[in-house]
Structure 1
Amino acid sequence: MSPAPDERNRIRAAMNRILSGKPEHSNGALTIVALAAEAQVPRNALTQRHPDLKNDFYDQVRARGQMPDSERRLRQQVRRLKELRAADAEGIARLKADVEALVGALHQSVTENRVLRQKLSEGSGVVRVLPQRRDGDTTHPVRPI
């Protein structure tokens, strides 16, 4: 499909309407989609046939101290991703600390178990084997220590 002969003029007129806040055929958003709708041309007219007009539109938006909607959305997404990354880093730090604490507790238990087994094999000291509690078994109640 070949472009309409007045396509560039329609795009420029649409740019002026959107930038002046008086859109007639779109929602007036500062996006290429809105610009294409306002100019009543397909979006690829701006992205493929007239990228210079697309770039000019974004340059004019920035020159007025505004930010294109697509850039605003991307900046919001970047902000959210940075927050998630920071939260993940905190979670990872907590997990690393938990691992260190658990390794320490395991080491202590292994050491105590080794000492008790040694006492049991030497016959020195008093080591009693506690009865195993089976689920539902009330004959050997387990008391908290």
Structure 2
Amino acid sequence: MSPAPDERDRIRAAMDRILADTPEHSNGALTIVALAQEAQVPRNALTQRHLDLKNEFYEKVRARGATPDSEKRLRRQVTKLKELRAADAEELAGLRADVEALVGALHQVQMENRQLRQRLAAPDPAVRSLPTQPRPRAVRSRS
């Protein structure tokens, strides 16, 4: 499908309307999607056929001191992701400390268990093993 003969003119007119804050067919956002909607052309007209107009639009947006909406959105997302990453790093540090403490406690219990078993195996043990409790049987429902 070939582009409409007036496609470039429609894109330029749409660019002027968006930059003048008078959009007719879009929400007026400073994005290529809004520009394509405003010009009533497919988005790929700007991303594939008329790259020079896309670049010109972004240059004009930056020249007027505005940041494109897509860039603002991405900056907010980057900020949020950095915050999440910092929170994850803090949680991970806490979990690592917990693992070290648990490994230490496990080692201590293993040492105590080994010492008790050695005392129990001695000829005259000062330690006496307690009888084990029978496990309770599972109660089956009667159907």
Match of 1:51 in 2: 51
Once the two structures are superposed, the pairs formed by residues 74-93 of structure 1 within 5 Å of their partners are: 74-93=74-93
> Does 2:103 match 1:111?
no
TM-fit CA distance, 1:130: 2.2
Is there any run of 5+ residues in structure 1 with no aligned partner, and where? 137-145
Structure 1: how far apart are the matches of 2:68 and 2:134?
69
SS at match of 2:132: coil
- Once the two structures are superposed, residues 79-116 of structure 1 have per-residue CA deviations (whole angstroms, 9 ceiling, x without a partner) of 12112211211121111111111111111111111211
TM-fit CA distance, 1:131: 3.1
Match of 1:13 in 2: 13
TM-fit CA distance, 1:125: 5.1
Given the two structures, how large is their TM-score scaled by the length of structure 2? 0.86
Identity of aligned residues (%): 73
Given the two structures, how large is their TM-score scaled by the length of structure 1? 0.85
Match of 2:141 in 1: none
Structure 1: how far apart are the matches of 2:75 and 2:49?
28
Structure 2: how far apart are the matches of 1:130 and 1:91?
42
Structure 1: how far apart are the matches of 2:79 and 2:132?
56
Match of 2:4 in 1: 4
Q: What amino acid sits opposite 1:53 in the alignment?
A: L
> Does 2:16 match 1:30?
no
SS at match of 1:26: coil
Is there any run of 5+ residues in structure 2 with no aligned partner, and where? 137-143
Q: How many residues align?
A: 137
RMSD: 1.7
> Does 2:61 match 1:61?
yes
4+ long deviations beyond 3 Å: 133-136
Structure 1: how far apart are the matches of 2:80 and 2:134?
51
Match of 1:141 in 2: none
Q: What amino acid sits opposite 2:27 in the alignment?
A: N
Q: What amino acid sits opposite 1:102 in the alignment?
A: L
SS at match of 1:35: helix
TM-fit CA distance, 1:133: 3.4
Structure 1: how far apart are the matches of 2:42 and 2:118?
84
